[in-house]
Structure 1
Amino acid sequence: MPAIVGPVKINSVGGGVVNFGDTFYASPKSTDKTASGSGSFNTGDFINTNSGVSSTNPVDPDLFDQLISGNT
């Protein structure tokens, strides 16, 4: 059954996905991968992170995690 969506006003978009109405198939248009150690994305004033011994392994044995080829 089709969905009826009324007037929509979007002032700004900073990222993310918005679906209106019926969605049969949603596929990603871009992908990204980040390898970082513990406490690396902390933001703010006077950050004190005690993580002891930390190790991050950025090696990924599979070449593709999520294919986006063919998505338009």
Structure 2
Amino acid sequence: MPGFVGAIKVNSVSSSAVFHVGDAYYIQPISSAKTYAGGGSFNTGNGINVQLGQSETIVFDRDVID
């Protein structure tokens, strides 16, 4: 269903984002990333207590290219 759109202000659009105005049947942003980190790496907040013994991050990629 067509619609009328008023003024639009776009400050920024990242590389994996989609900015679309109007009708669309199918939109698919394509982006991929790999992140390797050890145990307790992405904890956020107040009063976090992480107790790790031996930690190992395996970064072997069998197919090499994604």
- Taking structure 2 as the reference length, the TM-score comes to 0.53
How many correspondences in the alignment?
63
Q: How far apart in 1 are the matches of 2:65 and 2:32?
A: 10
Unaligned segments of structure 2, at least 5 residues:
none
- My pick for the range that moved more, 7-16 or 34-43, is 7-16
- Between Structure 1 and Structure 2, whose CA radius of gyration is higher? 2
- Deviations, residues 17-63 of structure 1 (Å, cap 9, x unaligned): 134241546353x5431111121122345432124443211001012
RMSD: 3.3
Percent identity among equivalent residues? 40
Unaligned segments of structure 1, at least 5 residues:
66-72
2:60 corresponds in structure 1 to 59
- Taking structure 1 as the reference length, the TM-score comes to 0.50
Alignment of 1:13-32 (within 5 A): 13=13, 16-20=16-20, 21=22, 22=24, 24=26, 26-28=28-30, 31-32=32-33
Higher relative contact order (CA 8 A, sep 6+): 1
